[in-house]
Structures are given as structure tokens and as C-alpha cells.
Amino acid sequence: MNLIKNHKLTIIGAVVGAIGGYLYYHYVGCASGTCPITSKPLNSTLYGAVMGGLLLNIFQKES
């Protein structure tokens, strides 16, 4: 439980990024299937989760 408290912003960023990545795949996507990130929903969801986690991890204070 302490791990979740210490990394709350990173987890929130990963969840929001995953949702954003999937929404990007669903609404924009890649029609030809040749795009490595947006051609499959799993790829774009994982990419969004990683980017969201990294983005909000910048604002996390160190203890």
C-alpha cells in the first residue's frame, strides 16, 4: 500500500495515458495497418500508458 501512495501520480498518469492511447487508436488510428504504434490497440494503449506515466512522474516530489 505504501508503494501506491509513493507513486500515485505515476499510476494516475499511466491510467490516463492508457485511456488516451486507446482513444487515439479508436478515433485516429492507422487505416493501412503499417503504423507500428497505432495499428493495434494494445500497442497504442501501452505506449500511451508509458508516456502518461513518464509525464506525470516529472512532477512527483522525491521523499
Looking at residue 31, what is its pLDDT? 82
Domain-by-domain residue ranges, the chain?
Answer: 8-57
Mean of all residue pLDDT scores within the chain:
92
Query: Is 14 within 8 Å of 49 (Cβ atoms)?
Result: yes
The DSSP code for 21 is H
The pTM for the full model equals 0.88
DSSP classification of residue 62: P
pLDDT for 63 = 66
Helix, strand, or coil (residue 34): coil
Say which residue the cell 493495434 belongs to: 40
Interval 24-43: pLDDT, tens: 999 998 888 789 888 899 99
